[in-house]
Structure 1
């Protein structure tokens, strides 16, 4: 009875209220409350979307960062394999030398430059050392007895596994890979290859791409933290976690942080990425404030112009709601903008700006490129003091001039030119004009040494001088042609022919002699590990390593007619 009377009074009062107030009350009941409900649901949904999107972004970042680190490891692993399975290196180390000087000469001229080339072309490579169980004297950082590492905590693990393994010395801040050199087994030796990499360079990829206010901890297979880094703004430093705190968060499964883990298949290391949930959803707070202000303004304006405001407001809210539904369904390309400058317009544009930022972040993470590096190498050349050599040769030249010894002066100048060009200030490449000048100086020396007993013919186009060439590419071929072709010729006068031509996109260089020649089997064996000499074979290996496997040295020979060595390299402006 009482409820009926109360209802009648409310209806009676509402009938007597002016139309404007009625519209305001109707709008407050039918418009304001639903809008508040919609905004509340939107807030919860946007919070969930932000958390999920941030999680997806973190997963993508962690995957890309770990893949980039593994790509670097793959490059260093390939370098490791190149050394471990290199016939020349194994032969130089395993060979039984007749004297210490002979072994030292091979180490300096063959082994040192090949290992030094790794550090030359890969600046983040620190130490490259081969440890071998051979009675020998330590040779710098290149070769050392295995007794130096036999007491380390990683030696037995690598020796037993027979595979390359990666370790981190957090105190020294270095990352190093260790691998057995199985090729040395042929010579009855055990060997270990050690390659160290800069700590910051290895983990640099974890410092990029993702926005601030996150942390990263990397654990090895034993659960030891090998890398820790936090990227929080100064006012959010309280959210930083050390390795122990991060493990506690994961163990307790608390909801304060989003924590993702990914394990590297190459090293077994586990990277853990964490970010506070409160900072992830912080961006929703300004939107919530704007929404509340917008609701208040809409309610106030409904009293003045209910019809216009209702139509105007509900239309924009419907557009915003429609866009949110598309976002919920995974469509992040929604474009919702507003020309108005009121709070609802700010809300619409704020939502559009937020979607744009999310799209930008996702694209930056997924479209991050993994850097790759090409194999490079450094020329094999003598390690001598050029200034001392040039000064000595200059002194000899002046003494020869004073003694009126023209031949001595001429050969001294040729030798000085040869070494000045061949050393090339330690560079691996030079112009073809310099390489040809070096070759002519070397031929002048050989002609004088042989008392001009053989002829030399040049057929070289001047146009090729502008192109790039590997250092000391022709001299070993000429030396081989004289020593094994012309010098052993017993009939007729020897002749050496050097040609250089352009062939489309290639440069073709040949060194031919009319010496004794050789069989096809002998010619083929010169470029393999079965060859007793290193010069011609190293030229072939250097060409393939620098220009690619499709480029190499070709040997053609016939017994009694002579030998021709041909080089085909791509045109590159020096």
Structure 2
């Protein structure tokens, strides 16, 4: 007949070592893959966000620098726009020649020169008027030497501009607001741009009248000096577009060359696409509402991509290295634990099949050593118990055996060993160790060299070992409290008078999914009072009376009556068991015995050494 071990192998049994290794590998693969993917994604996103934030801040600074220069021009123009004496000088037509010259020398020229000097740029200032008494003053910029003159004032009559498209397309006047930035007259050829606004007569409050136009022409390169592509990085493109989308300024050298080659035509997106392949740029922009301009930045993603590729390669290498190291570590650890667990499982299966002679040979100072010692001890204790059951012929021993078999569930050992086997299979080493140690302790204390009278400490330790085994089964559903007076340790007691009541609670007292047991041992006068208290469903008084009835010969309540009779037989009828219960509130079992000091036997010394 094949053993259970061979049957499981034939049915596709997989050793726990392989299960541990497979689960470990799956976990490691998932962990490394997710970690690598998240790390790369987060780094790539962080790089892009950081680059975008840096470029955005740079664009804001560029916009502020350009705005500062344009706002300075607007501010100076506003001083003329709101200067009544300046406006009257352009509007009024005196007849006296002396007054005409005085108006020019004391009003027009000083104010225009002051305004021109207040602007720290290469400025060409134009004032267009419709006053026949004012002579024109201008510079011919077609001459080479005139190209480099700065802060030049030009007074020109209206007939020079009234037929120009930029003049008759100029928007309707909104006082203090209407102005335009555009390239007019010779601005395009000289790489300049002008700020244009009207000069209005407000002498009649109900009607504004145009008396002239102001034009402040500045070099584009000087105005957009801060719009420099190297501020954003090598290969970046910085553009300034007007309201129509035409590019009025480009800082990248390639686009600048393209602009020169196209005979000073406006740069379009087509020329930029030709200079740089599409889809290779991070695009950001800043709008300037007063001027109607948009500063656009195209930053190549090549650097970011190269850095991302480098980091991706680094992460892949790290993940591969971690996988190799973790795999070898997993194989080693799996084999290490699998060999030891296999030994325990083989011994447990031998115990299960009735071979209690098999032992584990294990050297070490870890938990496995403790489990091996406990399991060997359990085998020895169980074998000794069985031998005593079959070898003893004394009636007292037979009666005690019958009592033990009645008090201890016949399936308790089998179920506990099955639980140990299951824990070993699933690799729950800590629970397995605890259960084996407590089971060995339970049986060692239960057997107790065949003595009926044992120390109180042994009785309490025995029930504690039983409860520790049950805690593995019930987990947090079972709560236990010990309230033991240290003064009772010096006395002796009949063994196995607490554990049956605890077992009875776990079998019959549940009310819900949890239960609390309190075990008390204290001195009460000259007696020792044990109490087993639970908060379970309780017992009817009629049922208690039926259990404690001496005339009851049924198996129901036999264990309780057995303990009661053993106590009375040993100590007298004034001692024994009493039960108090309230339905829905719980039950309290009281066991009273006399407080008698124990005698120290050689077996006690051996038990103490074994416990240590």
TM-score, normalized by the shorter chain, greater than 0.5: no
Whichever of the two has the greater Rg, that structure is 2
Query: TM-score under structure 1 normalisation?
Result: 0.42
Query: TM-score under structure 2 normalisation?
Result: 0.40
Higher-RCO chain (CA-CA 8 Å, sequence separation at least 6): 1
